[in-house]
Amino acid sequence: MSSVPGHSAPGGPVVPRASTVLEVHDLSVEYILERGTVLAVDRVSFDLAGGEFLAIVGESGCGKSTLLFAIAQLLAPPAEITSGSVTFLGRNMVGLTDRELAAIRWKDLSVVMQSAMNALNPVKSIGAQFTDAMRAHGVTSKAQVADRSAEVLQMVGIDPVHLKSYPHQLSGGMRQRSMIAMAMLFTPDLVIMDEPTSALDVVAQRSLMVQIKELQEELGFAIIFVTHDMSLVSHFSDRLMVMYGGVVAEFGATRRVFDTPLHPYSVGLLEAFPSIKGPRVPLTGIPGSPPNLASIPPGCRFAPRCPKVMARCEVEPPELYQVNGTLVRCFLHEGEESGHE
Amino acid sequence: MSDPAALRGGAPGPGAGDTGAALPAGARAPVESAAPSDQPGTGALLRTEGLTRHFKIGNALSRRTLHAVDDIGLSIGEHEIVALAGESGSGKSTVARLLAKLYKPTSGEIYFQGRPLSAVRGRRDVLRYRGDVPMVFQDPFASFNPVFRVSHGIMRCLKLHRPELSAQQRHEEAERVFTTVGLTPAAEVLERFPHELSGGQRQRVGFAQALALRPKLILADEPVSMLDVSIRIGLLNLMADLRDTQGVSILYITHDIASARYVADRLIVMYAGHIAETGPTEEVLSRPRHPYTQLLLSAVPDPRAPLAVGAETDRGEPPKVIDPAPGCRFRWRCPLAIDECHQVTPPLRELLPQHSAACHVARADAETRAFG
C-alpha cells in the first residue's frame, strides 16, 4: 500500500516513540498594534514526541505560521508571547536570550522556511553558508566542515559539487533540498518546516515530501510541518492539527481526521478539494471568509460559516472536547467526551 | 458577504437540482462544443497555428534563446472552458500573454473568430479585441490600485470600452456584473476599497471587470492559486456559471490538475513549451497517453487513495528550454524513452478521437504506463 517506511498506522492510538521533545502549554501570541491587539494564537497546547511528524493545517491568517515562529522564538514586535510556555528538551524557550537561543538553533532545532530563495544568502555559495552555521557551533576544522557539508548534501540527493553553487544557480527544488540539508548539519531533535513545498510543482513537491519522510525515519528527528494544503500531509504525518482563527479546531491521528473528521471546518476543508479520481461531484467549498482576529466573535469562531451552527454557538465559545483520542472544539461533540490521551 | 454557497444557491444555473449546485463540467457533453473547434477554422472562437515565442537571453558574449512556447496549435470553442495545465516554466503563462496581445509571437499566428491577430492594429481595433478577450490575473492583492474604490476600475473599463453608455447606465451595468459574480449588495461592494475585500472577493471583482466588457473569451491566469482552499471552489463554480449563463469561453491556466478536472471541458497539458497531450478532460485523465501526464497525475496528493508508488524517483527538475536540441523535451525524465526520442521532436498525433499526444511511444490501444 505504501512505499514510505514507518507510515503511521491508520487511526491507531499514537504511542510516543521516545520521550517528549517539545511541550507547548497554553501558548498565546498577540500582535500589539496601535488600533488594538490581534490575538493570533489563542491558548494552544500540545506535546511532541521524539521522531514524531506533526502537521498543522489551516487557511491564511489562522495563526499557524505565528505559532511556528513562537515555538522557534523568531517572533519580532509587534508580535509578543502573552502567555504560556514552550518547553524544548526540558527547557522553557520563552524568555531565553539571543545568545542562549543561538546555542540551540541549528544544533538542536532547525527551521526550514517557506521560500528558500529568500532564506538563503544570494551572494554566498551554499558551502559558505553551511560553513557559517558550523563555525557558529564551534566546528572549525576545514576538513570536518567539508566532509559534513558534502555528507548532508548527499543525504538530500544533491551532488556535493553544488557546494560551490550560488542559490540562483539551483532550481527551486534543489534550493529547498539544500535548506533541508543545512537543517540536518547537526542532526537536530526537532525540525520546524513552514510550507517548505508550497513554491514547488506537484512532482517536485511529492518527491521532497518522500525524501523528508525518509530522512526522518533514518535520523529520528521530530517534525512540525505547517501547510495550507491538507491533502499534502495525508500520507506523511502522524498527527494532524487543524487550526481556525487562532485556535485548535481539531487535533488527532492524521488518518482518523481524514477518515472521520469531526469538526465541521475539517469536514468542509476536506470536501473543498476536487478529486482526481472517482466521479466528478459538485462541491461547494466553505462559504464566507476567515474571521478577523482583531474582533473575535464571542461564540465559536467558525459559527458564521458553519453549516451546522446552533443558537448556542453564536454566544458561547466551545472548549476542546476529547472524543476517542481526538480533540475537537465543537458543541456537536460535547456529550461524546471519552477516554484519555 | 458574497459567499460562494449563497451564490450557488441563488444563481440561475441551468440544471440546478435540489442540491442547488449544477455539476460544473461533467453534466455537459464537451463533445458538442469541442468537436467543431478541433478542426481548424471551423467554429473555433480562437485558434493558433504554430504559435512560437522565443526570448533572447544572455549578453553579447553568450547569445542564447529561451524557447518559452514552441509550435503550439490550440483551439478554444464557444461556451467552453479549456484548461491549460503545466508546471512553472512550461510556457502556459506565455501562451496567455500571447493571446492577450501582450507579447508578439516570434512566429505563428493567432486567429480570433477567423481573423488573424496580426491584422488587429490601431487603437480601436486593439481596444475591441481586448474587450472581447480580457484577462483575469493571478494575484488579487497586486492587481488593484489600493487608493481607489473598486468602482474606479470597472468604471474606467466601461468608459473606455463602452463609450456609448451614460454615467447612469455605467453604474447600472457595474451593479449588474457585480451581482452576476456574487458580489452583493453590489452598490455597497462597489464603494469599498480593495483592502476591505477578501482575496476571493477581489478575484470576483476581476471577473466582474472582465464581464463588463461583454467578452467572448476570458483568459484566466491561475485565478485561484493564491486563494485559500475553502474559497477556491466558489471561484471555480463561478467560472462554470459564467460559461453556462453568460455564454463566455474561458481559458483556465493552472498547475492544479484536479481543479482543471473539476471545471474544464477540455484539457491541454503543456511541457517545456510544447503541448504534451490534449483532449476532453475526462478522456485525458482517465486514459493518459503521454508519460508526463501520467507522472503529473501520479504526483497529485489524494488523501482518499493510498500513496501511489513509482513517481518519487522523479525529482521534478524543470526542463531545459534554452537552445534545445531536437528531440522530445521530456526524454531526460522519461523511463520509456527510445532512440527516436533523442533524434526527432514528436509531433502531436491524434491517438483516440479528439485525444492527441506528442509521444513516439504512446499508442492508442495499448497501455503504455510510465508512471502511476
- Whether A299 shows a pLDDT value over 60: the answer reads yes
Per mean pLDDT, which range of A272-281, B146-155, B246-255 is the poorest?
A272-281
pLDDT for the residue numbered B310: 54
Q: Does this complex have an ipTM over 0.95?
A: no
pLDDT for the residue numbered A262: 93
**Cβ neighbours of A261 in B, within 8 Å:** none
Inspect the interface and report whether the beta carbons of A59 and B311 lie closer than 8 Å: no
Reported as a single tens digit per residue, the pLDDT across B183-193 is 888 998 999 99
Q: Which three cell numbers stand for residue B326?
A: 531536437
User: In what helix (H) or strand (E) does residue B283 lie, and over which residues does it extend?
Assistant: helix B281-286
Per mean pLDDT, which range of A199-208, B75-84, B151-160, B292-301 is the poorest?
A199-208
Inspect the interface and report whether the beta carbons of B88 and A201 lie closer than 8 Å: yes
**Cβ neighbours of A289 in B, within 8 Å:** 1, 198, 200-201, 231
Among A156, A175, A203, most B C-beta atoms within 10 A, so best to mutate, is A203
B70: phi then psi, degrees, rounded to nearest 5:
-130, 115
Per mean pLDDT, which range of A110-119, A214-223, B334-343 is the poorest?
A110-119
In whole angstroms, what is the distance from residue A246 CA to residue A42 CA?
A: 5
pLDDT for the residue numbered B306: 67
Confidence of residue B134 (pLDDT cuts 50, 70, 90): very high
- Whether A4 shows a pLDDT value over 80: the answer reads no
pLDDT for the residue numbered B173: 94
Inspect the interface and report whether the beta carbons of A59 and B301 lie closer than 8 Å: no
Cβ-Cβ contacts under 8 Å for A335 (sequence gap 6 or more): none
In whole angstroms, what is the distance from residue A320 CA to residue B110 CA?
A: 59
Q: Which three cell numbers stand for residue A8?
A: 503511521
Reported as a single tens digit per residue, the pLDDT across A326-335 is 999 999 988 7
In whole angstroms, what is the distance from residue B96 CA to residue B355 CA?
A: 22
**Cβ neighbours of B296 in A, within 8 Å:** 202-203
CA distance B272 to chain A (A): 14
What secondary structure letter does DSSP report for B325?
P
Reported as a single tens digit per residue, the pLDDT across A191-211 is 999 888 877 778 888 888 888
Inspect the interface and report whether the beta carbons of A3 and B309 lie closer than 8 Å: yes
- Whether A115 shows a pLDDT value over 90: the answer reads no
Report the mean per-residue pLDDT for chain B. 83
**Cβ neighbours of A65 in B, within 8 Å:** none
pLDDT for the residue numbered B43: 66
Domain that holds residue B19: 4-134+215-357
In this complex, how many residue pairs, one in chain A and one in chain B, have their CB atoms less than 8 Å apart?
Answer: 166
pLDDT for the residue numbered B309: 58
B302 touches chain A (CB under 8 A): yes
pLDDT for the residue numbered B308: 60
In whole angstroms, what is the distance from residue B224 CA to residue B309 CA?
A: 29
Question: How many distinct structural domains can be found in chain B?
Answer: 1
In whole angstroms, what is the distance from residue B157 CA to residue B154 CA?
A: 5
Q: Say which amino acid occupies B115.
A: R
- Whether A263 shows a pLDDT value over 90: the answer reads yes
pLDDT for the residue numbered B356: 94
Query: Could you identify the residue written with the cell 471545471?
Result: B263
pLDDT for the residue numbered B219: 95
Inspect the interface and report whether the beta carbons of B1 and A229 lie closer than 8 Å: no
Inspect the interface and report whether the beta carbons of B232 and A287 lie closer than 8 Å: no
Reported as a single tens digit per residue, the pLDDT across B82-130 is 999 988 778 888 999 999 999 999 999 999 999 999 999 889 999 999 9
Inspect the interface and report whether the beta carbons of A202 and B234 lie closer than 8 Å: no
Window B:309-368, CB contacts with A under 8 Å:
309, 311-318
Segment B59-67 mean pLDDT: 82
Inspect the interface and report whether the beta carbons of A272 and B299 lie closer than 8 Å: no
B18 touches chain A (CB under 8 A): no
In whole angstroms, what is the distance from residue B342 CA to residue A106 CA?
A: 45
Inspect the interface and report whether the beta carbons of A205 and B258 lie closer than 8 Å: no
Assigned domain for B278 exists = yes
Of A231, A278, A288, the CB nearest to B301: A231
**Cβ neighbours of B284 in A, within 8 Å:** none
In whole angstroms, what is the distance from residue A123 CA to residue A203 CA?
A: 29
Per mean pLDDT, which range of A3-17, A69-83, A193-207 is the poorest?
A3-17
Reported as a single tens digit per residue, the pLDDT across B24-45 is 444 443 333 333 444 444 468 9
Window B:216-235, CB contacts with A under 8 Å:
228-234
Assigned domain for B39 exists = yes
**Cβ neighbours of B258 in A, within 8 Å:** 273-276
Segment A142-165 mean pLDDT: 87
Confidence of residue B260 (pLDDT cuts 50, 70, 90): very high
CA distance A108 to chain B (A): 29
pLDDT for the residue numbered B31: 38
Assigned domain for B276 exists = yes
Assigned domain for B321 exists = yes
Contact B247, B46 (CB under 8 A): no
- Whether B12 shows a pLDDT value over 50: the answer reads no
CA distance B111 to chain A (A): 32
Inspect the interface and report whether the beta carbons of B307 and A287 lie closer than 8 Å: no
Angle at which helices B291-299 and A202-219 cross, to 10°:
50
Q: How far is CA B166 from CA A325, B170, B191, B208, B212, in A?
A: 64, 6, 19, 19, 14
Percentages of chain A per state (helix, strand, coil), in multiples of 5: 35, 25, 45
Among A283, A292, A305, most B C-beta atoms within 10 A, so best to mutate, is A283
- Whether B16 shows a pLDDT value over 80: the answer reads no
Contact A88, A108 (CB under 8 A): yes
Nearest CA in chain B to A235: B307
pLDDT for the residue numbered A339: 53
Segment A131-158 mean pLDDT: 87
In whole angstroms, what is the distance from residue B209 CA to residue A247 CA?
A: 37
Report the mean per-residue pLDDT for chain A. 85
In whole angstroms, what is the distance from residue B70 CA to residue B206 CA?
A: 30
- Whether B19 shows a pLDDT value over 50: the answer reads no
- Whether A3 shows a pLDDT value over 50: the answer reads no
Contact B252, B239 (CB under 8 A): yes
Q: For residue B291, is the peptide bond before it cis, meaning its omega torsion is within 30 degrees of 0?
A: no
Looking up residue B53, the CATH number of its domain turns out to be 3.40.50.300
B264 touches chain A (CB under 8 A): no
Inspect the interface and report whether the beta carbons of B87 and A202 lie closer than 8 Å: yes
CA distance B126 to chain A (A): 35
Q: Kindly compute the dihedral angle of the four CA atoms of residues A185, A190, A193, A197, in this order, to the nearest 10 degrees.
A: 60
The 3-state secondary structure of A325-338, one letter per residue: CEEECCHHHHHHCC
CA distance A203 to chain B (A): 5
Inspect the interface and report whether the beta carbons of A207 and B312 lie closer than 8 Å: yes
CA distance A87 to chain B (A): 32
**Cβ neighbours of A207 in B, within 8 Å:** 299, 311-316
Segment B256-272 mean pLDDT: 93
pLDDT for the residue numbered B63: 83
Q: Say which amino acid occupies A152.
A: V
B257 touches chain A (CB under 8 A): yes
A206: phi then psi, degrees, rounded to nearest 5:
-60, -45
A309, with CB counted inside 10 A (0-12, 13-18, 19+), is: middle
Residue A249: count other Cβ atoms within 10 Å of its Cβ: 28
Nearest CA in chain A to B371: A203
Inspect the interface and report whether the beta carbons of A280 and B26 lie closer than 8 Å: yes
Window B:165-224, CB contacts with A under 8 Å:
198-201
pLDDT for the residue numbered B125: 92
CA distance B231 to chain A (A): 6
Confidence of residue B227 (pLDDT cuts 50, 70, 90): confident
B258 touches chain A (CB under 8 A): yes
pLDDT for the residue numbered A338: 65
